Structure 1
Amino acid sequence: MGSKFHAFMYPWFGFGHMIPYLHLANKLAEKGHTVTFLLPKKAQKQLEPLNLFPDSILFEPLTLPYVDGLPVGAETTSDLQSESKLILYDAMDLLRDQIEAKVRASKPDLIFFDLVDWIPEMAKKFGVKSVCYQIVSAAFVAMFLAPGAELGFPPPGYPSSKVALRGHDANLYSFFARTRQSFFDRVTTGLKSCDIISIRTCAEIEGKLCGFIERQCQKKVLLTGPMFPAPQEKRVKPLEDRWNHWLNGFEPGSVVFCALGTHCFLEKDQFQELCLGMELTGLPFLVRAMPPRGSSTTQEALPEGFEERVKGRGIVWGGWVEQPLILSHQSVGCFVNQCGFGSMWESLVSDCQIVFIPLLADQALTTRLMTEEFQVSVKVQREDSGWFSKESLRDAVNSVMDKDSEIGNLVKRNHKKLKETLVSPGLLRGYADKFVEALENEVKNTKTS
């Protein structure tokens, strides 16, 4: 059929970007399209298990060129400390000649990208349609689309006074403040010069914000929905025995599960504050956390006497866990997370109470959307230092877990309503299907014009 197409994908080399891109690639392949997925060599092994259509999705590994300051062997953001992640921009820019050669040889119909802003210019040269696919929230994309927009001051016409960075948000995210201009320029250039804008969200959550982006960029924004993994991608298997057995020992809805993402590295004192805050709740808890900076394991960084005090009711784990399966266990009643966009979606389609500890600027905006606009969650309050205390973490968790809490009951009611909307039959699959159909029409029209 003429509408079948070949797409290139060149996402930012962080697993939080590459994995959602691969979920989208699976959707395209399911519909009969082919994808060439450009990625760093080391990432291929980790992503291969998520490739459901290896005959249709071809991994094209790239070797990052040497850039001053890039550590030997570093290929993704997880290989770098926050301060040095910008070096990846330079390395990915230097891959342009290699990518141009591949595009010239393969003649794809589309090329997807997010932060590499020269893709649209290159694509035009070869008659290829460029698709700027943003996997972060529309709130974050929208905040930086108007000239002169500043942290804490939404741009003119921005549809929400609540979903804005302010107070400790601006102070806390010093890395973002230092890199803002580079990020701003790349995202805005990509959005305004691409042929098609798409965002991993849905109108029920961010419709007004997407409308603002359309007006600012003067082009339609196509929404994919959250693009959850297909059922077979989750490999529908039972929860690991170790966790199933442990969780079965507690009352339904009583356990607090805390996970702050696989690439979040807290300072040691903040990590200990997190552990002590969970202890102070008095509730059973499971914390999944990376070792803090300067520690080789989570265990060696635990507060003195902590393991003995929480024995039997609390675990801090540095290894991998199946987050969706833990969230679906009947004993888990609260999910504490950093409000990364993937964790936010998993929060919304779970039955758990939601507590957010945003750690990056985009997470702060999404947290405001969820806590202030939709009122489906609570946020851990910051201290004057910009960080959270064990008491503020305890208070946030207890405020939603106390059955007599007014705020706890409010967010539970609102969360239930929003979840019912999101899981209504066909809604999310409908977004993905309409998105692919729109791309097919775009390619067909290009070929017949």
Structure 2
Amino acid sequence: MEPPKFHAFMFPWFAFGHMIPFLHLANKLAEKGHRVTFLVPKKAQKQLEHHNMFPDSIVFHPLTVPHVNGLPVGAETTSDISISVDNFLSEALDLTRDQVEAAVRALKPDLIFFDFARWIPELAREHKIKSVSYMIASATSVAHIHAPGGPLGISPPSYPSSKVFFRGNDAHTMTAFYKRVCHQLTTGFKSCDVIALRTCKEIEGKFCDYISSLYHKKVLLTGPMLPEPDTSKPLEEQYWSQFLSGFPHGSVVFCAFGRQTVLEKDQFQELCLGMEMTGLPFLLAVNRPRGSSTVQEGLPEGFEERVKGRGLVLEGWVHHTLILSHPSVGCFVNHCGPGAIWECLMSDCQIVLVPILNDQVLFTRLMTEELEISVEVLREKTGWFTKESLRDAIKSVMDKESDLGKLVRSNHAKLKEVLGSPGLLDGYVDNFVEALSDLINVKKI
């Protein structure tokens, strides 16, 4: 007999980089016939609705984000604040506990997914439901929290080779991550009923096994949870499609750093100049630099005229999957964010990485030094890169005669073939849903 359908709550951290992957998972659950109530800040709902592929099964439940001292008035997500104010938003999230509990009491879900709200397992036990700690960050970075110098001071027995360590400013980059996340994550892992990770064993199996052994809990894997293709606007109707179509196969460099990354003006200009110096056609999709009212305002002097016809700069987020699938695109420069990395793994593009925050640094090391399927842009002591180092990294993989380019292209193709094998990713989803059903049935017996 088919197991009974369940009702899941989802309560992710108030960042679109977390809410959207949670919603991708919600879509997979809804596709299997399950119901989802998605707890979300009021203003964020409108920006998330177009990601909801099953509006009859996935219902948004808006939350009022309380104001706390230090948090800008009206701020509800990390998009509304600088990273230095994240702790205040975390405090505001904790203050929504009464609203979350009222929703649980009224709607009586079977289980609740969370990431940074460490109090969810306690609330779930009080109401006799199961809690799932779902982490969208790489298992590599989660495991490193327990490495020497990490909060628990325990070394993962199967950690990657000694090459994978912080260098230069990386340690400084990770400090904020430790302070804000480690306590929430480790507390949540200890208290939840089951741990779930957005990864697959073919890439991070040894880290998943380590986390399971450390917490003596089952670790469920969802696979990469790639977004559904956006069919609302055909590729040929996208306004950048005509630009891309004017270049040879695999010649265009696409660069994007996600929704959350806002660069300083000098960093932004160094990025633009590095793209220009490659001599290759490029598409750059970024947020406006700090202090500029538009992207164009922040561009280097004379830049637009010099790259006219071969370089296009777009402001804000664009649909990565559509761009990466275009035959003219041959390289993806990105920040190694959880979503971007899976998108480029499943593409045919060469991969150039510029990690900016916390877990991005560690997954970059795995990609470049363990799996050898990408290159990392070298940084200066300032923590940023020069236009020359960006140019050199891109050209090293785009040059068809480059030994490094041949190596990463070959390794990437082999891994993509494994990940794309028939039934692999669907199998992760099937096994995940089956395990959740078993968890709930145990509760009901």
TM-score w.r.t. the length of structure 1 is 0.95
* 1:310 counterpart (294, 307, 316): 307
Conserved 8 A contact 1:145-1:213:
no
Partner of 2:392: 395
User: Counterpart of 2:392 in structure 1: which amino acid?
Assistant: D
The secondary structure found in structure 2 opposite 1:85 is helix
1:157 aligns with 2:176: no
Partner of 1:28: 29
Counterparts of 1:170 and 1:352, CA distance in 2: 26
Counterparts of 2:404 and 2:60, CA distance in 1: 47
Partner of 2:442: 445
Partner of 2:250: 253
Q: Summarize deviations over 1:156-196 as a string: whole Å, max 9, x none.
A: 425213574411243451xx414523411110000111001
Q: Summarize deviations over 1:128-160 as a string: whole Å, max 9, x none.
A: 100000011001111113685279x98242521
User: Counterpart of 1:157 in structure 2: which amino acid?
Assistant: P
Unaligned runs of 5+ in 2: none
Alpha-carbon deviation of 1:383? 1.1
1:290 aligns with 2:287: yes
Structure 1 segments of 4+ aligned residues over 6 angstroms from their partners: none
Counterparts of 2:259 and 2:318, CA distance in 1: 10
Q: Given the superposition, is the C-alpha separation of residues 119 and 165 from structure 1 closer, same or farther in structure 2, using an over 3 Å criterion?
A: farther
Counterparts of 2:97 and 2:340, CA distance in 1: 32
Alpha-carbon deviation of 1:205? 0.7
Q: Summarize deviations over 1:398-431 as a string: whole Å, max 9, x none.
A: 0001111000000000000000111111111110
| Farther off after superposition, 52-61 or 337-346 | 52-61
Partner of 2:200: 202
* 1:357 counterpart (351, 354, 358): 354
* 1:340 counterpart (333, 337, 342): 337
Counterparts of 2:255 and 2:139, CA distance in 1: 25
Q: Given the superposition, is the C-alpha separation of residues 377 and 149 from structure 1 closer, same or farther in structure 2, using an over 3 Å criterion?
A: same
Conserved 8 A contact 1:172-1:386:
no
Counterparts of 2:169 and 2:344, CA distance in 1: 22
| Farther off after superposition, 234-243 or 91-100 | 234-243
Q: Given the superposition, is the C-alpha separation of residues 184 and 319 from structure 1 closer, same or farther in structure 2, using an over 3 Å criterion?
A: closer
Conserved 8 A contact 1:116-1:190:
yes
Percent sequence identity over aligned pairs? 61
Alignment of 1:51-66 (within 5 A): 51-66=52-67
* 1:383 counterpart (380, 395, 416): 380
Conserved 8 A contact 2:143-2:156:
no
Counterparts of 2:90 and 2:238, CA distance in 1: 42
Counterparts of 1:118 and 1:181, CA distance in 2: 17
User: Counterpart of 1:226 in structure 2: which amino acid?
Assistant: P
Conserved 8 A contact 1:154-1:164:
no
Q: Summarize deviations over 1:76-120 as a string: whole Å, max 9, x none.
A: 001010101121110010011111122122221100000010100
Partner of 1:424: 421
Q: Summarize deviations over 1:1-30 as a string: whole Å, max 9, x none.
A: 762111111000100100111111111111
The secondary structure found in structure 1 opposite 2:384 is coil
Conserved 8 A contact 1:40-1:63:
yes
Alignment of 1:50-449 (within 5 A): 50-145=51-146, 148-149=149-150, 155-162=155-162, 164-173=164-173, 176-178=174-176, 180-231=178-229, 235=232, 237-448=234-445
Alpha-carbon deviation of 1:282? 0.7
Q: Given the superposition, is the C-alpha separation of residues 239 and 18 from structure 1 closer, same or farther in structure 2, using an over 3 Å criterion?
A: farther
Conserved 8 A contact 2:259-2:316:
no
User: Counterpart of 2:307 in structure 1: which amino acid?
Assistant: V
User: Counterpart of 1:160 in structure 2: which amino acid?
Assistant: P
Conserved 8 A contact 1:146-1:216:
no
Q: Given the superposition, is the C-alpha separation of residues 187 and 24 from structure 1 closer, same or farther in structure 2, using an over 3 Å criterion?
A: same
Q: Given the superposition, is the C-alpha separation of residues 293 and 171 from structure 1 closer, same or farther in structure 2, using an over 3 Å criterion?
A: farther
Measured on the aligned residues, the alpha-carbon RMSD in Å equals 1.8
User: Counterpart of 2:160 in structure 1: which amino acid?
Assistant: S
The secondary structure found in structure 2 opposite 1:72 is coil
Conserved 8 A contact 1:139-1:163:
no
Q: How many residues align?
A: 444
Counterparts of 2:231 and 2:363, CA distance in 1: 25
Conserved 8 A contact 1:333-1:351:
yes
